[in-house]
Amino acid sequence: MAQNFHSSPICKLLLLLILQCGLPTTTIAQAPAPAPSGPTNITKILEKAGQFTTLMRLFKLTQVGDQINTQLNNSNQGMTVFAPTDNAFSALKTGTLNSLSDQQKVQLLQFHVLPQYLTTTQFQTISNPLRTQAGDSASDKFPLNITSSGSQVNVTTGVMDTTVSNTLYTDGSLAVYQVDKVLLPMGMFGPQSPAPAPAPGKKKKSGADDDTPATDDSTAGADASDAIQFVGHVHGLMVGSVGVIVFIVFTCL
């Protein structure tokens, strides 16, 4: 009888229910959702790339780095940055950066920033000179010219020439390109206009002080001679007058 119970369908169903209730259930864990990407930060991009310590320091000192980040994260306007390496800054003439005013340092860094996003392919069709964040692109101010031949991108400012040696970052809004020379703008490092010539004046004696008007030697000598003769004449008149007065006094006595 017991054997028939265990082999009956009802018994098998009961055993199956008991087993399902007693065993723990398992679930498959889902992979976590990717964390949202943070805002674009030019300093972090340069820090990750390495060899841009000087540029990062200048970006912080002048707050140009903050301006780039703010503009990228609060507008739809793209940007292109040319990033000189530490070796590029070291190659500058000693004291170049220290000789610049705070405003000039800002302009120097802004000269490395274009207010538009450009790919290396677009460099082949752009119109020169390009306008930078430094402002005026006229030939005597802040002109930046870029030409592309095959895979080589040439950059010139009228003072120096260099090439784009590497693409550090690009996301469709910001492009950062490595350059091995600091881009020196014409308005700050080009030949200066000559000082205006002084207004024409009277001819001066050789060796005379610049503030002393020129004189004629012959005229000066004549004036001195006339003065001496005049003094002598006055002296003679005074002596003669005294003699006359003495004569009149004695006559009256």
| Domain range summary for the chain, segments of one domain joined by + | 42-181
At residue 83, the 3 state secondary structure works out as strand
Rounded to whole angstroms, how far apart are CA atoms 37 and 40?
9
User: Which pLDDT score, from 0 to 100, does residue 48 have?
Assistant: 95
At residue 162, the 3 state secondary structure works out as strand
- 219-240 residue pLDDT tens: 545 554 555 565 455 455 554 5
User: Which pLDDT score, from 0 to 100, does residue 56 have?
Assistant: 98
Rounded to whole angstroms, how far apart are CA atoms 117 and 81?
9
User: Which pLDDT score, from 0 to 100, does residue 137 have?
Assistant: 74
Q: What is the number of other CB atoms lying within 10 angstroms of the CB of residue 71?
A: 17
Q: Which fold is adopted by the domain 42-181?
A: FAS1 domain (2.30.180)
User: Which pLDDT score, from 0 to 100, does residue 38 have?
Assistant: 76
Rounded to whole angstroms, how far apart are CA atoms 51 and 84?
9
User: Which pLDDT score, from 0 to 100, does residue 8 have?
Assistant: 61
pLDDT under 70: residue ranges of the chain: 1-37, 139, 193-253
DSSP assignment of 112-159 equals TEESS---TTGGGTPPSSBPBTTB--STTS--BEEEEETTEEEEE-SS
pTM, whole model, 2 decimals? 0.63
